[in-house]
Amino acid sequence: MSEPYRIVILGGGSAGWMTAAALSKVLDPTRYHITLVESQAIGTVSVGEATIPGIREFNQLLGIDEDEFLRETQGSFKLGIAFENWHQQGDVYMHPFGPYGFAIHGVPFHHYFLRHERESAPEQRVPLHALNLEWTAALAGKFTRPIADKRSPLGHIKYAYHFDATAYARYLKGYATTRGVVAIDDRMLSAKQRYAKGPIDALVLEKHGEVTGDFFIDCSGFKALLIGEAMGVGYHDWRKWMPCDSAVALPGQHDASTIVPYTRSIAHHEGWRWRIPLQHRTGEGWVYSSRFTDSDKAEREFRAVLGNEVDTANHLRWINGRRDQAWQHNCCAIGLAAGFIEPLESTGLQLTQSGIIRLISLLPGQGDMSQRAQAYNRYSAEEITSIRDFVLCHYKLTERDDSAFWRYCRDMDIPDSLQQRLDLYRENGGIFRNSNNELFNEISWFSMFHGQKFTPQQEHPLAAQLPAEQLNQHILNLQRIFQQAVAPLPTHAGFIQQHCKAP
């Protein structure tokens, strides 16, 4: 029998333990040996407490019981993200996880809604939030899991989670180590390589000597100790398009009886603020650009908003961008080491998850891996680039001019890939994914376009063929269906109390 293939993961935290857990689930332990090296003396970055629905698929892959996971991580449910003050002061819209209405004759529903909004008198217009199940439930503070009757809109409700990312990593560590993953608490001194910038043979540790391996996964965060320092792989810096590169985090006021089932993104005069409700606390963060303000000023302003002069602030810095290659030789970077997009749309853990699933699909092994590496790098670049365009579009579509920061965002040049999307939508409301590898779909783009008052010149021609009376009746019926579906649901806090309340 041949020796097991040795996979060595550098770094714990969410990325490391998500990787270890997934590999321990799908790989035969008699054929693969997995080791994770982490130093308890080195802190981890945790900005990933808000997630998007893909995290449910990841947990389902692992076979994790949802109630147990939420109890262990002080988690709550999330139906979408509310954006406040982004277009102008006082504006509010939501990016919900579920669809608006239903396509008619193959034409996406948003075209019909745009026609309804354009043709109807103001007092007769049905608001967009009333045509989305998740948004309707979020505004009412209600929640349920999908029910068995798939004829009901409640049979298809889409949701994600808020949770303590540190607790999630700890939970997955227990999951992975019970499945044979070897955990080593030590600090890496260097990577032993066959030649400069070449393949890695071992990690040299402070106390445990050398840990040899066949394939190495870099989950060392922004330090990128393997893919960056050892391999010398460069980094695409996107801060000219995405200037927010800093945050200060503090605990906010918390009431467990009224936690809402959505994340709040509240734009302030030089950036935005997140508000993430967990069972035991409300996480708050003040996101800003170091180009326009400094950390001392940001902390002072944030404390004034929160009224918190007691707790110690946690300052975070990052560079929005990606590695030139996430997979180089026998090393693959996952998580922050591979790239990062600011947490506006809660994509941090999603990028980690997709990197893991992609690595499993292109599973490394003995011999030549160059074609697998090329495919991994191509798909990784496509995915994070499309997320970049979606996130930066929030800034570009603002009409705020109350600070140099917002004027810069409004007036900045944007990538051609985003400009083409804007031009297409402006012409006739068209929204298309450039590839199946894109994370955000028509629902997501329309939510942002409509919420930030970016209006097309016309709708799809087929949307004009439906008689006006029939269209209006269809929209009124949808509003009634969603209101009736949501009315009997338990409150979000009540659902948590019944099913997954943490001790």
What's the token pair of residue 284?
């708050």
Q: How far apart are CA 317 and CA 340, in angstroms?
A: 11
SS3 432: coil
Number of C-beta neighbours around residue 65 at 10 A: 12
* 78 assigned to active site: yes
N-terminal to C-terminal alpha carbon distance within the chain: 47
Would the annotation count 15 as a binding residue? yes
Relative orientation angle of helices 348-361 and 54-62, to the nearest 10 degrees: 50
Would the annotation count 12 as a binding residue? yes
Are 490 and 139 in contact by the 8 Å Cβ rule? The answer is no
Q: Any bridge partners for residue 50, and if so which? A: 162
Longest dimension (CA), the chain: 76
Using DSSP bridges, classify how beta strands 160-162 and 76-78 pair: parallel, antiparallel or unpaired. Answer: antiparallel
Would the annotation count 336 as a binding residue? yes
Would the annotation count 345 as a binding residue? yes
What's the token pair of residue 53?
């629905």
Would the annotation count 13 as a binding residue? yes
Q: How far apart are CA 140 and CA 221, in angstroms?
A: 38
SS3 238: coil
Torsion on CA atoms 189, 191, 194, 199, rounded to nearest 10: 180
Q: How far apart are CA 280 and CA 283, in angstroms?
A: 10
Return the exposure string of 243-278: e unless at least 16 CB atoms fall within 10 Å of the residue's CB, then b.
bbbbbbbbbbeeebeebbbbbbbbbbbbbbbbbbbb
Are 390 and 78 in contact by the 8 Å Cβ rule? The answer is no
What's the token pair of residue 25?
């689930």
Would the annotation count 14 as a binding residue? yes
- Residue of 78, 142, 158, 396 marked catalytic: 78
Q: How far apart are CA 21 and CA 180, in angstroms?
A: 10
**Residue appearing with tokens 């892959």:** 61
Show which residues are catalytic.
78
**Which residue ranges make up the annotated binding site?**
12-15, 78, 336, 345
**Which residue ranges make up the annotated binding site for FAD?**
12-15, 336
**Which residue ranges make up the annotated binding site for L-tryptophan?**
345
**Which residue ranges make up the annotated binding site for 7-chloro-L-tryptophan?**
78
